[in-house]
Amino acid sequence: MPQAQPTPGKTLLSPADHILIMIDHQSQMSFATKSIDAVLLRNNCALVAKAAREFKVSTILTTVAEKTFSGPIYEEIRSVFPKDEVIDRTTMNTWEDARIAKRVNEIGKKRIVLAGLWTSVCVVGPALSALDQGFEVYAIADACGDVSQEAHDCAIDRVVQAGARPMTSLQYLLELQRDWARSETYAQTTGIARAHGGAYGLGVIYAKTMFAGSEGH
């Protein structure tokens, strides 16, 4: 008979155990994205980027053909990491760029969390490649998008069937916090939720304003 223990599951993410790779969140890629509204997508990307910054997650930013075709990375991401290098590629599969592989190896973590445009190309490629090489892979589905809902859904299905784990942007933030007693990141987490957490964020604002309430109390 198994015995319950007050410890987190082994597949839950923590800030120090993974690399976040944000891929090709650019204008040209967004124009054809139909599986998610562009405003919502940009909001979710901002949430993910801010969560990574506040929890000091190792993060790689990358674009494809930035100056010749696809345009700059979203300002919602660039403004969060203003000093970070954005690796501009020619490869559709991020994992096939030697600079990305070098950076992943330098950081030295076994878990990879992906978000990108389009899901069927820019997430499927690195997800399947990383899985083949023994990494654990997570995909933030609502910080991704594709040319149709079918394309996005098929892409998520494909990486999940290969062993990747899907999640959402708000789930990513809350999984990194995971305990409201962690006071050192409490204000940052609820602040990000207020700004980008949709109806949940409104609930945080309401509770704080009306009752001086807070999560966990």
* pLDDT for 177: 97
* pLDDT for 112: 98
Residue 142, Cβ density class (10 Å: 0-12 exposed, 13-18 middle, ≥19 buried)? buried
- Given a contact cutoff of 8 angstroms between Cβ atoms, the answer to whether 158 and 124 are in contact is yes
> Hey, what amino acid is at 67?
K
**pLDDT higher than threshold 60 for residue 152:** yes
User: What is the pairing mode between strands 165-167 and 86-89?
Assistant: unpaired
Rounded to an integer, the average pLDDT of 180-196 is 95
> Hey, what amino acid is at 144?
C
Q: How confident is the model at residue 199 (pLDDT cuts 50, 70, 90)?
A: very high
What percent of the chain has pLDDT above 90? 90
Residue 117 phi, psi (nearest 5): -120, 135
Q: Tell me the β-bridge partners of 38.
A: none
Reported as a single tens digit per residue, the pLDDT across 77-115 is: 999 999 999 999 999 999 999 999 999 999 999 999 999
Q: Is the pTM of this model over 0.75?
A: yes
Rounded to an integer, the average pLDDT of 117-123 is 98
Give me 130's structure tokens: 């990383």
**pLDDT higher than threshold 90 for residue 214:** no
* pLDDT for 207: 84
Residue 202 phi, psi (nearest 5): -60, -40
* pLDDT for 217: 53
CA distance 169 to 92: 23
Say which DSSP state 26 is in.
B
> Hey, what amino acid is at 185?
T
Rounded to an integer, the average pLDDT of 155-165 is 98
**Three-class secondary structure of residue 58 per DSSP:** strand
Reported as a single tens digit per residue, the pLDDT across 25-72 is: 999 999 999 999 999 999 999 999 999 999 999 999 999 988 898 999
CA distance 110 to 87: 21
Q: Candidates 3.30.30.10, 3.90.79.10, 3.40.50.1950, 3.40.50.850; correct CATH number of 18-175?
A: 3.40.50.850
Residue 212, Cβ density class (10 Å: 0-12 exposed, 13-18 middle, ≥19 buried)? exposed
- Given a contact cutoff of 8 angstroms between Cβ atoms, the answer to whether 52 and 165 are in contact is no
Rounded to an integer, the average pLDDT of 166-170 is 98
Residue ranges of domains in the chain:
18-175, 179-211
Verify whether residue 45 is a known catalytic residue.
no
Give the contacts of 48 (CB within 8 A, at least 6 positions apart): 20, 22, 115, 140, 143, 169, 172, 173
User: Average per-residue pLDDT in the chain?
Assistant: 96
Give me 191's structure tokens: 């602040």
